[in-house]
Structure 1
Amino acid sequence: MLRLHFTAQDLARVRVALLGPLAETELSLWNLQRRDAKALFGGWRARTGPLITGDGPDTARFLGSPRGELVDLFTLVGAAGRIDEGVERLRGAPGRRLRAEFAVVAGAPRRHAPWLAEVVDAGPRGVARLATALQDCHRVAVAPYWERIQQHLEAELARRGRLMVQGGVGALLDGLRPMAPVGTARAGGPRLSAAGPPGGRLPRGGALARAGPVGVLRTRTPAVRWPRGRHGAGGVPGPDQSR
């Protein structure tokens, strides 16, 4: 569990944004490995699973597992309106940041294809291969449904924007329940909890939190992300908390 403690400065910098097709592609690969919510996703999984070929299955298992682990590509690349934009940012991400993010995956108790060792080490060829695999997966898993996904996301973005207009940032944060419950820190400022490494904590001051709806997890499920840097790792909700 990660806890974000907000100052007035932090609250003024909270944003609501769409994460984009790359985020939807990663989450779709995670969803394909799940077995729950069959009424909602069973038909899509049956149609799409056989189309994930080549490096796609390796990529899916590398980026996330049905148990809930998920590589935080969202923070690495930021909100990207097109899949090409997202993968180009991934290819150009600093090796230090890539290694820091993939180190979590490298330590997970599951096996990966040999070519992913170069990805974990942020090798240019490995990262380029991962980016190409994500583009291929997007083409079959997300692109055919993108118009409907985008309509859902824009409607949800508008809804959360209205929450901010009508009730301020407090109403927006309160609307993230139950995925990210909001409490009050001992120092008096609001505290947002989200799934992450046990005992994780982001100190007050300088954080830019972004809340954004995602279309391939559950209906009206928000994701929360914040940048890496001096405050530690970025984060997204684990699947088991996104209900």
Structure 2
Amino acid sequence: MESGLSFSAADLAQTRFAVSPMWEVVTSYRVLVGRPDSGPHRRWVAQVRPRIVRAGLDRGWLAALVPAQGYLADFLNPTPAGPFPTLGTELDAVLRTPGGQVRDDLRTLTGGEHLDRLRLLHDDPPAVLRKVVDEIEAYWELALAPYWARIQHVLEADVFHRARQVAEHGSARVLSELHETVRWDDGTLRLVRRHCALSRDQAGSGLLLIPSVFAWPRVLTRSVPPDPPQLAYPARGFGAVWEPRTADSTEAVAAVLGRSRTLLLTELDTPASTTQLAAHCGLSAAGVSQHLIALRNAGLVTAHRSGRSVLYARTAVADQLLNP
């Protein structure tokens, strides 16, 4: 099956890239619930799936709106207002979704075991959308926030690389290199072997290109007139996001930060709690806590609540410090 999105000169002029936290929410959720093997995301799934199950997020609103296969609710992916919107900005847009659009999306969802939830949302979109957004925020804190620095680095690097390619080689070449199922052909962007069509008569003008760490191995589309169509594709380097980081420069870093703090940073290749870090590093919990406060104040770690504990994660700045 093949579909095509035709382009006028105006459509090409309105084609842009954007990083979307909400696209990472829906694509990562699909990875968690829909892929037993999970491919390049196995390490992330092994860490995150138990947290999601304990929090009941494997059977809530996201489960109803983002099934493992097929159509997912379009209103979860509003048009990004700029190239790098925050999660809060996109969730505000979700809350503003007109009731008619919500109901249109629900008619396309199969529902299955989640029919009761979908009926509640159909009957009172404004009230229930608040519950959906609250669940997304809880999911973000458990599944994505501890890893967002490294995810964001890959997504932004993809945008900057492709923007440079557009300047050097033109849009046609860049559009042809997005994915093996996407090709540019005489003014039309063609999507091959797709289960959902994307055509200009079903979409607004222009095109939004959204790199995603979790979209692999496919591309996903959103087409809701009068919004510009969106195409989410696997970002360059997505497979390296979960690879353990080496720390060849630890001696130099330790000379500045001290050995204990450097040890904690290297241990935080995987987000961990104070108790876990103390056990792994042979330090007291009180000592680890003091070091983490200092590292957080310096912008080298971030903290994210996970149930009754707090997970600490290394920032992109710390990654570069350990791997210059």
- TM bucket normalised to smaller: 0.7 to 0.9
Q: Is the 8 A contact 1:68 1:238 kept in 2?
A: no
Quote the residue 2:250 is aligned against. Answer: none
Deviation string, structure 1 residues 71-91 (Cα, Å, up to 9, x no partner): 224643535622222212111
Deviation at 1:229, TM superposition (A): 2.3
Deviation at 1:193, TM superposition (A): 2.5
Q: Is the 8 A contact 2:73 2:106 kept in 1?
A: yes
Matched, 1:228 2:225: yes
Structure 1, gaps ≥5 residues long: none
Quote the residue 1:85 is aligned against. Answer: 89
Quote the residue 1:14 is aligned against. Answer: 15
Quote the residue 2:180 is aligned against. Answer: 178
Match of 1:162 among 161, 164, 177: 164
Runs of 4+ in structure 1 off by over 6 angstroms are none
Secondary structure of the corresponding residue to residue 113 of structure 2: coil
Deviation at 1:122, TM superposition (A): 5.3
Structure 2, gaps ≥5 residues long: 235-324
Quote the residue 2:190 is aligned against. Answer: 192
Distance in 2, matches of 1:29 and 1:17, equals 20
In structure 1, give the amino acid aligned to 2:106. F
Deviation at 1:138, TM superposition (A): 0.5
Secondary structure of the corresponding residue to residue 197 of structure 1: coil
Matched positions, count: 229
In structure 1, give the amino acid aligned to 2:196. P
Secondary structure of the corresponding residue to residue 22 of structure 1: helix
Secondary structure of the corresponding residue to residue 229 of structure 1: coil
Distance in 2, matches of 1:238 and 1:82, equals 19
After TM superposition, the score normalised by the length of structure 1 is 0.79
Distance in 2, matches of 1:41 and 1:225, equals 24
Q: Is the 8 A contact 1:181 1:192 kept in 2?
A: yes
Distance in 2, matches of 1:179 and 1:122, equals 39
Matched, 1:211 2:209: yes
Quote the residue 1:51 is aligned against. Answer: 51
Deviation at 1:144, TM superposition (A): 0.5
Deviation string, structure 1 residues 155-186 (Cα, Å, up to 9, x no partner): 111111112111111112111231323223xx
Tell me which moved more, 205-214 or 83-92.
205-214
Distance in 1, matches of 2:76 and 2:69, equals 19
In structure 1, give the amino acid aligned to 2:225. R
Deviation string, structure 1 residues 133-159 (Cα, Å, up to 9, x no partner): 111100101000000001001111111
After TM superposition, the score normalised by the length of structure 2 is 0.61
Quote the residue 2:252 is aligned against. Answer: none
Distance in 1, matches of 2:123 and 2:60, equals 16
Quote the residue 1:130 is aligned against. Answer: 132
Q: Is the 8 A contact 1:212 1:224 kept in 2?
A: no
Distance in 1, matches of 2:227 and 2:155, equals 31
Quote the residue 1:5 is aligned against. Answer: 6
Task: Please tell me whether Structure 1 or Structure 2 has the larger radius of gyration of its CA atoms.
Answer: 2
Match of 2:71 among 69, 72, 96: 69
Distance in 2, matches of 1:213 and 1:165, equals 18
